[in-house]
Amino acid sequence: MQRSGSAFRRGFRMEEKRKTARDFARQFIAKNDPLGWFEALYEKADGETEIIPWADMAPNTSLTQWLDTHTIAGTRLSALEIGCGLGDNSEELARRGFAVTAFDISETAVEWSQKRFPASTVSYEARDLFGSPGSWQGVFDFVLESYTLQVLPPELRTRAIGAISRFVAPGGTLLVICRGRGPEEDPGKMPWPLTKRELTPFKEFGLDEVTFEDFFDTEEPPVRRFRVTYNCSSAAV
């Protein structure tokens, strides 16, 4: 099927955004600073969303669909978003009644979120995943990891999975949303699709896999996604 002109232009603009992000990532990885590019990218954006590939300015539909079809209710439950970006997912969780803490490694992204939502109940914080407060360990009823793992170099992913797993309270839920691929497929360029095997460390860190969804989203062209639900039956190790 031939793509429409508007769909082609959207795809071209997105690829240009991703190229800019990849260039920043490549530069910082070469300097042995694989996380520094996030702040650099937000600083370059200077309040404009045009170069931020993941800035849809709306909640992730893979999240909202999941929330609509699951019985989890936000009232009196605590939630944590990993790598909150410009805050749309966190605000959606707050709208549904969760007491939300959201963090991003980029101070600029956090300040941007606070300006976008000045009356928000979300607690936005500038934090590094690998240096989060001990008080966050094992206390959140719902944890959202959406698109962070797929922009981390492979050598950091298991460590990141361990850090994420430790946020989930006993009896709590972790939702992971990422690009997906088969083990025989080339990972290509950042954002790197993950294989199912690359997500198995979540179970090694004490979480129970409840559902594993492998689907294509409604982007143009469609993107293969994994959406995985985990429960914590006891404190993660």
Confidence of residue 17 (pLDDT cuts 50, 70, 90): confident
Q: Judge whether residue 234 has pLDDT over 80.
A: no
Give 61-79 as a DSSP string.
HHHHHHHHHS----TT-EE
The proportion of the chain whose per-residue pLDDT surpasses 90, expressed as a percent, equals: 83
pTM listed for this prediction: 0.91
pLDDT of amino acid 220: 81
Q: Domains of the chain (ranges plus CATH)? A: 54-231 (3.40.50.150)
Q: Where are the alpha helices (DSSP H) in 107-153?
A: 107-116
Mean pLDDT of 166-195: 96
CB 152 within 8 A of CB 166: no
pLDDT digits (tens, 9 = 90+) for 50-99: 889 899 999 999 999 999 998 776 678 999 999 999 999 999 999 999 99
pLDDT of amino acid 73: 66
Assigned token pair, 156: 């950091």
The radius of gyration of the chain from alpha carbons, rounded to an integer in Å, stands at 17
Q: Judge whether residue 211 has pLDDT over 80.
A: yes
